[in-house]
Amino acid sequence: MAVGFGCGLPHGRRATTGVAANSAGASVSNADLLASATTVSVGQDTGQSLRITATLKNVGALPAYFEYGACALRILAYATPDRSGPPKWDSNLRRPWHGATLGPVCLSYLIATTIPPGNVLAPREFSFGAPLIEMLADSLPDGRYYFTADIEFSNRPLLRGIPAGSLDLALPRQPLATSRVSDLLTLTALPVEVSGSPPFVLARATATLGYARSAMMEFSRDCPVTLYAYRDRARRDAAPRAGAADWTQLLACAPDQVKVVMKRGDTRTMETTVAVRDILGASLPSGHYYFAVTLRAQSNRVFLAAGDADLVRQ
């Protein structure tokens, strides 16, 4: 029996068809239940998508009663086969790649069902799908990932850590952008400027409200903009998954936020300055450098390309 109330809107990019790879996980036993999950990668290039399905089998002698809702399945991805440490990705925390404010939206309903002994339960609520770009985005490198699935019930404890197999994932990605939509804001990094005597680097970025008539927005009080320098353009364009920058601005960032009421079209400009001698320090040579910045807004940390410039030791 299903009881439904409320509604929501699905989101995400539609993937092309054609199974590229799949991986089945092991089973997890929990008293009278046997749970298993399978991960599949479908599509090609930027149209790739992840699909994970879980099933439950009643291996007990009595009927098993379940209550669950629309977002019953949670997926975690790890970088190691033992699936230890913090996950590299959590499906509950994903956001649409195109920058929309809302994350996963769940329909508000409750399903109640009974599985007879020996039968299997595999409803659509035990399935998950998302564009691969929402997982790898611009921060996770290509490579092999190991998945687990959690199933949440309304009348039973969480069924946690069901192995869901592993996959080699690779995704063509564009060079680091100078502008991105994040929540209600369009965030843009301006090209760095070098001036002054002694010379310093000025990095500026803007946040423009474009997706609401008005809203209370939050920005980091101490370090809304952080600057990074790279000697190689390809590494900058692959940031942050390319690893640590050749130089990173060190800032003492408290968790305090500045709250600003913005109207549609309002722009807030933030900046940071660093002396060239502090960037080059004692180890980096004079030369051409490529820059990136991170903006901290609405508790998000967004990487953006911020131009390039010649730095000369004086």
Q: Is the peptide bond before 81 cis (omega within 30 degrees of 0)?
A: no
Mean pLDDT of 142-156: 93
Residue 270 pLDDT: 95
Averaged pLDDT score across all residues of the chain: 85
Domain identity same for 132 and 234:
no
104 in any annotated domain: yes
Domain identity same for 139 and 59:
yes
132 in any annotated domain: yes
* Boundary (domain end) residue, out of 114, 149, 169: 169
25 in any annotated domain: yes
Domain identity same for 160 and 184:
no
CATH number of the domain within which 281 lies: 2.60.40.2360
Mean pLDDT of 304-311: 97
Domain identity same for 297 and 202:
yes
**Residue 283 reports pLDDT greater than 70:** yes
Domain identity same for 126 and 200:
no
Domain identity same for 73 and 106:
yes
Please, are residues 289 and 201 in contact by the beta-carbon 8 Å criterion? no
Least confident residue range of 18-32, 40-54, 84-98:
18-32
pLDDT digits (tens, 9 = 90+) for 235-249: 999 998 888 999 999
Residue ranges making up the domain that contains 42: 2-169
Domain identity same for 160 and 186:
no
Domain identity same for 293 and 251:
yes
* pTM greater than the 0.75 cutoff: no
pLDDT digits (tens, 9 = 90+) for 114-133: 999 999 999 999 999 888 88
Domain identity same for 159 and 191:
no
174 in any annotated domain: no
Greater confidence (123 vs 107) lies with 123
Domain identity same for 165 and 185:
no
* Boundary (domain end) residue, out of 119, 150, 169: 169
Domain identity same for 193 and 158:
no
Greater confidence (285 vs 102) lies with 285
**What is the count of structural domains for the chain?**
2
88 in any annotated domain: yes
Residue 243 pLDDT: 87
* Boundary (domain end) residue, out of 103, 136, 169: 169
